[in-house]
Copies of this chain bind each other. A is one copy, B any other.
Amino acid sequence: MSAQISPLAPKSYAKLTPVDGVTMATAEANIRYKNRTDVLFVLMDKGTEVAGVFTKSKCPSAPVDWCRTSLAQGKARALVVNSGNANAFTGKKGAEAVELTAKIAAKAVNCKPEEIFIASTGVIGEPLDATKFNGVLESCAKQASPDNWMEAAQAIMTTDTFPKLAGRKVLIGDQEVTINGFAKGAGMIQPDMATMLSFIFTDAPIAAPVLQALLKKGADNSFNCVTVDGDTSTSDTLMMFATGAAAKRGIRKIESTSDSRLKAFKAALDDLLAELAQYVAKDGEGARKFVTVSVSGATSNASAKKIAFAIANSPLVKTAAAGEDANWGRVVMAVGKAGEPAQRDLLTIAFGDIVVAQKGARAPDYSEEAASAYMKNAHITISVDLGLGKGKARVWTCDLTKAYVEINGDYRS
């Protein structure tokens, strides 16, 4: 963990209220870090439905392999997350470590191993000694409380400088349900289906296939729109658990994505996912500025997203942001290299509300002074209109600072 907290961290946190059917505890298992919690154990009521989206990496971690397989049966009783070791590229030993973890956890909560979901984050290539969970998970199960959300978000941090958690309350019919979630991020961030690690919990009674559809769509507009460095982790995991405990309060189970009661829930979930995803960009390694890249007028939404990522991943655009330099020429370059339909002489580029370029040249009333003043903000929006069609996209990123190089040149994470 870095000593210096990101200047983009939230100034305060609202305390999350319990999610009916969910309890948790954290512990120090000394996996890699000393004198800090590095294990999270979340217990969930019988009947909890689960959904997940995972990294598209061709070299996924052992826990990702495990979760993908277990997801098929759609039920969950517990989640184990450790920080300090990603259990990725660990071969047969890695798979064995996951199996042992599931076995220890299943014994602690008295369920089947396939109802245990597992995620690991940290160093790649080091064997993970799962015997360290022996006793630890059992003791966590005994201490688990419905109020440990902040502790949970802290236990899964690696180079993160602040914990990332958020909650929403929303009505299903006339009954209120809760959605809470937390995430971790920092580096190796351009999720390709999900980010590093994020977990969402609700007491709403929603069947796994519906939950999966909601989560996949929600991820596309949140975590899949974030990049820190264009590097996709081996361990990206976004999971959602629905305990269904709110059924006690008379909410009929939601079995179809066309259920009209889902509308408000979906909006609240999307909003929550966006908040967590933005935290990931705001805690990008070395981040000092939060940058929103907004592309419109593309030939399709997919094309707009590729162009937005070309801008958001360009080291030259990101260093210009760090240097508070209104260098829109680099935005032109990034649009040009994206390989998507673009016509130089139709381009419009704005920093905030300041139009800097239009019709293939500098804007007639361009003011370097005004643009430079805007770049001093902590939150910057770069907008590009291609003038070709109706496709649009919005992605979030951060600036590229010397601290990013320092963190990743000095620290084996």
Contacts and interface: CB of A to CB of B under 8 A. Distances in A.
Nearest to A65: B344
A230 interface: yes
Contacts of A361: 89-94, 125, 127
Interface residues of A, number: 72
A293 interface: no
Contacts of A320: 408-409
A410 B322 CA distance: 9
A252 interface: no
Interface in A141-197: 187-188, 190, 192
A316 B125 contact: no
A108 B123 CA distance: 63
A342 interface: yes
**Residue among A187, A229, A334, A408 with the highest chain B CB neighbour number at 10 A:** A408
A365 to B, nearest CB: 15
Contacts of A90: 361-362
A224 interface: no
A7 interface: no
A329 B88 contact: yes
A335 interface: yes
Interface string A220-234: 000000000111111
Contacts of A93: 361
A391 interface: no
A252 to B, nearest CB: 42
A333 B410 contact: no
A341 B320 CA distance: 35
Contact of A342 (B58, B187, B347, B408): B58
Given A57-B337, A342-B59, A360 B323 contact: no
Contacts of A188: 316, 330, 333
A101 B54 CA distance: 55
Contact of A409 (B232, B322, B410): B322
A323 B93 CA distance: 29
B405 A405 contact: yes
A406 interface: yes
A378 B362 CA distance: 42
A357 interface: yes
Interface string A56-89: 1111100000000000000000000000001011
A338 interface: yes
B404 A315 contact: yes
Contacts of A94: 361
A59 B335 contact: yes
A328 interface: yes
A327 interface: yes
Interface in A335-374: 335-345, 347, 357, 359-362
A268 to B, nearest CB: 31
A200 interface: no
A23 interface: no
Contacts of A340: 58
A136 to B, nearest CB: 25
A410 B334 contact: no
A332 interface: yes
A66 to B, nearest CB: 14
A401 interface: yes
A89 to B, nearest CB: 5
Nearest to A399: B409
B336 A408 contact: no
A333 B232 contact: yes
Interface string A369-413: 000000000000000000000000000000011101110111010
Given A125-B328, A400-B405, 15 more contacts: A56-B339, A57-B337, A58-B339, A59-B333, A89-B347, A89-B360, A89-B361, A94-B361, A125-B332, A188-B333, A192-B337, A231-B330, A315-B408, A320-B408, A401-B405
